[in-house]
Amino acid sequence: MNTLVKICGTTNLVDALASLESGADALGFIFVEESKRRVDPEFAKEIIAELPEGAQVFGVFVNEPASYVAEVAREIGLTGVQLHGEESPQQVSSIRQATEDLQLKIIKALPASMVQQHTLGYFAGGEELVDAIMVDSGSEQKRGGTGKPFDWMRAAASIAELQRKNKVIIAGGLTPANVSAAVALLRPWGVDAVTGLESDPGKKDHAKLRAFISAVRAVNVGAPSRAIV
């Protein structure tokens, strides 16, 4: 199957459309206060309203109450959420219950350091509650957008083990120059990129977008596109 490509840190309609036209399967909108790529949910709603029907759009949240996540998702038309904090299985379950009518897809981001230790730490037992797990190079100090890849070779065995039960998305420092190697080595369900596709924080470089997605597709030529289902 084709590797799912999620382009995160979307801040404007031009970049959103360019990502989809370049072949991206999903977009991410960051609603985290400290992020340089944060967008206001109301502005994200305006962007989403202009996207082609059926576009997969994810909101990125960090340690937010289930009620808030559900409110934003319902109001602006999200198809999924990405939880990038220390959300516990109990919190994920609450979000599931609060958004049951929306049938949202849920991605839970975990630091690569945790996965490499063959432990899911605070999220142990939550694997069955999410649609995919994102393995990212972020830390508690900088949860995402680090621009640095994690040690793929060191993490390869752990990711392969994790993928026996979960769809895995890899993130962190992916660029047009290195993503094909990451996909070939780790064979993830999906990839997620932000920093490596920008000209400035929050502004996509459209040539890099096209090159990145072409590099991913070149690894699995002829395979159909993916959706998080």
Where are the chain's structural domains?
4-219
Angle at 35 between CA 34 and CA 41, to 5 degrees: 95
What is d(CA 47, CA 62) in angstroms, rounded to the nearest whole number? 22
Task: Report which secondary-structure segment, H or E, holds 111.
Answer: strand 105-111
Please answer whether residues 180 and 170 qualify as being in contact, where contact means their C-beta atoms are separated by less than 8 angstroms: no
Q: Which architecture characterizes domain 4-219 according to CATH? A: Alpha-Beta Barrel (3.20)
The type of residue at 42 is E
* Closest to 3 measured CA to CA, from 180, 175, 145, 149: 180
pLDDT recorded at residue 64: 97
For residues 30, 33, 38, 44, the Cα torsion angle rounded to the nearest 10 degrees is 70
For the annotated catalytic residues, the residue numbers are 8, 136
pLDDT of residue 162: 93
Distance separating alpha carbons of residues 58 and 104, to the nearest angstrom: 9
The mean pLDDT values, 10 residues at a time, for the chain of 229 residues are 94 98 98 95 98 97 97 98 96 97 96 81 89 83 66 94 95 96 97 96 97 94 61
